[in-house]
Structures are given as C-alpha cells and as structure tokens.
Amino acid sequence: MQKLIRSLLLGFGSSKSSSPPPAAAASIAGTSEKQSKKRKSSGNKFDMDQCFEVGLKSSERVATKLMEALKKEVNNEVKPAKRMRMFTKWNSRIEDMLIKDISKQYPTHLFITKNRHKNREAVSLTDDPTWFIDPLGSKTNFVHGFPYANINLAFWLLKKPRFGIVWNPLQDECYTTRTGFGSFMNVNTLQVSNCRKLSEALVMCEARTKATFDSKEIRKIAHQVNELRSLGSSSMSMCMVAQGYADAYIDFNCGSWDMSATMLLVREAGGVVCDPSLKPLDLMSRRVLCAATQELAEELAAVLAFSEEKDAPKLSEVPQLDETVQKLGLGEKRNTKETGKTQSKYQEREGLDKKPKEFSRPRMVYVLPKLTTEFQSPSMKFSGYPKAAPTDRRKFVRSYPTDPNLPGQGSIF
C-alpha cells in the first residue's frame, strides 16, 4: 500500500493531472535516471521528494509499532486505566521517534510539537523549514477505543504547507497530501462534496466540554444546519470534510499541529480553509473554518457574524468555581432545614395554608405463585417460569385445551 502512496505523491509533476514518474520521463527524454536526479538536485536547493519520503517512512514506522502494541493489548482485554498508561507512554515515544528520525536527515530543521509547545502563545512560525507533530491526537478517543485517534506530521517551508501525513492507527488509514498533487486516503483520491447551502449541510464541530457545547457560536448554527456532528478530534473531522462525508467544520480551540496537515488535505481535495471571519487562516490562532465550497463558507461565516478578534468566541463564559472549592465539593448549597424554617414563618405571617405532609406509601412486594404441573393456565405453560417436568407424557398432553383461540396453544413436541 505504501508503495502505491509513494508512486502517487512522488515525481508526478506540479499539477494534479497524471504524468510519468521520474524514471519514465528520463527514458523518454533520452537521459538516464541518475542524470535527471543530478540536474534536479543542482537546480533546486531543497529536494521535496526526499523530504516527503523521510516523513512518510518515519510516520509509517511509528504507526506500525503502535498498531502492533495495540493488537497485543486488545488480545489481553485492556482496561481503560491501563489504556491511559499506554497513551501516556506512546504519546511521548512517538514524538521522540519522529524527531530522531527526521533530525538524522535534516539536523537544522525546526519542530513545533504538541508536547513540547503546550504554551501556544510562545510558538511562532518562521520561514525556516518546520515540522509540525501531533504524536497521538484525541486522548479520550484512544482511551475509550473510539476509532478516531491520529498521528499528525506536516512540513512547512516559507510559512506555507508543503505536505501532510495523518495516520489513524485504530482503523489503519493513512491520509497523505502534497501541494499540487491532490489528497489521498491510502490509495483513494479524496474529493469534497458539492454542498452549497447551509440548510443542507452536515457540519462538524467540537464539543469537548460543557462550555464549548453551550457556546453561542454553536447555538447560532444549530438551527441553521441540517445536522451537527462531533468526533472529538479536530484532525479527523477535517479529514471527513476532505473525504466528502461532512460538508463543513468549525473549531475555536484547536492547535497548529491539528491544522497544519489537514488544512492542506482539505484544500487539495477542493475545499476552502480560512478563518471564521473569512480572513486568511492564521495557523497560530485557535480557530478554523473549512467548507466544501466557497458559498457554504460565506453563509456559515455570515451566521457566525464576527470579524474582530475581540468578538472571538470565549470558551469559558460560564463562571467556574475555584479549584479548591471543586475538589472539596463545596458550592452554593442551601441548608434545607433553614430554608424550611424561613418558609414556614413566611406562611404564618402571610396567613397561608401550610403544605400538608406527603404520606408514605407502603412498599408493595410482588410474590410469584408456586407453579405446579396440575394447576397451570395455558399461557403459563410456555412462559419463562421454571416448572417441573411431567411424570406422564399422555396425561400432560391431554391437559391441553382443545380450543385453538386460547393463548398458549403451541405444541412443544
């Protein structure tokens, strides 16, 4: 499968139309493959084919090892607590393996990773060659076995995406994309849908917490779209848009490592990726809007109706308690005895009738009758109640009623 992916994304020219690979093109021109490679390396200072090959091989090796570990754990019936320890272990291991493999070939390249750059405000994108890594996205999905966890790897140069690789190890799916070459899932070409109306669109969104689920932006579009869906993974949701399974996606709290590969995947599949205000996407911001068509993106942005940074959605609009109060379980709780006293005093002062106390009903206990073969109704003979085996078969058969309209007239013989 990986040979087919490499053949699709290596050496096919800068356009999406099919063209011969480097070896065939060199033979047609009357030159050898080595000479064509020398001319290519001399003309370009940076070999993008080799860079893509390094990223694909490294991500393939990491995903294969993770899938082998998952198969062993599945056979042993892993509990969620052990899966959490497994996630913590592999989350750091995958990141270290990817950085080590890539640094061997490109020691001067920069890395922006999820584990090493959790403080997103301190991260800045430069013109230098930069790799974005999300070692194992969607912790909750991975722990619960929900098959939408991902390994993201993207390469940017001069502040523009060059290629992206997204692995879903739980379903053995590999999404690959490269600027000017199109988008693929394994060896299948991806194409977005042709949805142009918001009322007909299936929109993906992320409702990770109660605050995001109750946010005003989601409430705005809830009654405007056809359906809303949430996968719990920003990268996999954008992959659904690129495949044409969903028509649009919005998120207001995603990282650069979530969008770095999938934004190129959607664009190469024919979609639109921008800021929710229809401005060019800022990779270091926390919000993104991607849609299948430009008309759908404009209608969705009009419903959201904000353009300035001050109007950006606030994820924590609901007032939260202090951490110590939450841990101790303390909150604004009223004493039921005190409230009862104040209510009775108020009723006496206003001359209101006191609410009569509700009487307690006796608990009813249902006792099943003792079942015997002598006094059973026709319907009881075929129920699930335990009954003794008949001593005489003829006597047992004669006890059946002859009227076919009565219930329980089937024969067990």
pLDDT tens digits, one per residue of 203-260: 998 876 555 555 777 788 888 899 999 898 999 999 999 999 999 999 988 888 999 9
Residues of the chain under the 50 pLDDT cut:
12-44, 307-339, 346, 356-387, 389-390, 393-400, 406, 408-413
Six token digits for residue 47:
């070999």
Contact between 163 and 156 under an 8 Å Cβ cutoff? The reply is no
Half-sphere exposure of 313 (CA within 13 A, CB side): 24
Is residue 91 packed enough to be buried (19+ CB in 10 Å), middle (13-18) or exposed (0-12)?
middle
Question: Any known ligand binding at 392?
Answer: no
Q: What is the rounded CA–CA span in Å between residue 78 and residue 350?
A: 64
Locate 175 and state its tokens.
Answer: 């999404």
Q: Determine the Cα–Cα distance for residues 250 and 253; give it in Å rounded to an integer.
A: 10
Concatenating the DSSP letter of every residue in 337-377 gives: HHHHHHHHHHHHHHTPPPPPPPPPPPPP---PPPP-SSS--
Q: Are 67 and 86 in contact (CB under 8 A)?
A: no
Does residue 72 contact residue 95 with C-beta atoms inside 8 Å? no
Could you please report the per-residue DSSP string of 97-136? HHHHHHHHH-TT-EEEETTT---GGG----SS-EEEEEEE
Question: Which residue is it, tokens 């294969």?
Answer: 64
118 contact partners, CB below 8 Å, separation of at least 6: none
Q: Are 21 and 6 in contact (CB under 8 A)?
A: no
Q: What is the pLDDT at residue 196? A: 94
Distance CA 163, CA 49 (A): 10
pLDDT confidence of residue 1 = 54
From CA 317, how far away is CA 219, in angstroms rounded? 13
Domain(s) labelled CATH 3.30.540.10 in the chain stretch across: 2-189
What secondary structure letter does DSSP report for 299? H
Report whether 136 belongs to an annotated binding site.
yes
- The highest-level CATH class for domain 2-189 is alpha beta
Q: What is the pLDDT of residue 140?
A: 85
Of 2.60.290.11, 3.40.190.80, 1.10.10.10, 3.40.50.10210, which CATH number belongs to 198-308? 3.40.190.80
CATH 3.40.190.80 positions along the chain are 198-308
Instruction: Quote the CA–CA distance of 177 and 374 in Å, as a whole number.
Output: 77
> Tokens standing for 210?
């109660």
- 70 annotated ligand-binding residue: no
Q: If you compute the radius of gyration of the chain from its CA atoms, what whole number of angstroms results?
A: 32
**Residue 318 phi/psi, 5° resolution?**
-80, 130
The pTM is what?
Answer: 0.64
Q: Which two tokens stand for residue 103?
A: 């640094």
Q: How far apart, in whole angstroms, are the C-alpha atoms of residue 289 and residue 371?
A: 67
